[in-house]
Amino acid sequence: MARNGTKGDGHREGAVSKRSQTFNPVNERWTKRDADNGRFMDQKADPKPFKGVRKER
pLDDT digits (tens, 9 = 90+) for 11-45: 777 888 899 999 999 999 999 999 999 999 999 99
Hey, what's the torsion of the CAs at 40, 4, 11, 6, to 10 degrees? 170
- Residue 6 predicted with pLDDT over 90: no
Domain coordinates in residue numbering, the chain: 8-55
Residue 19: the pLDDT is 94
Selected residue with higher pLDDT from 9 and 21: 21
The average pLDDT across 1-20 equals 79
The model's pTM is: 0.74
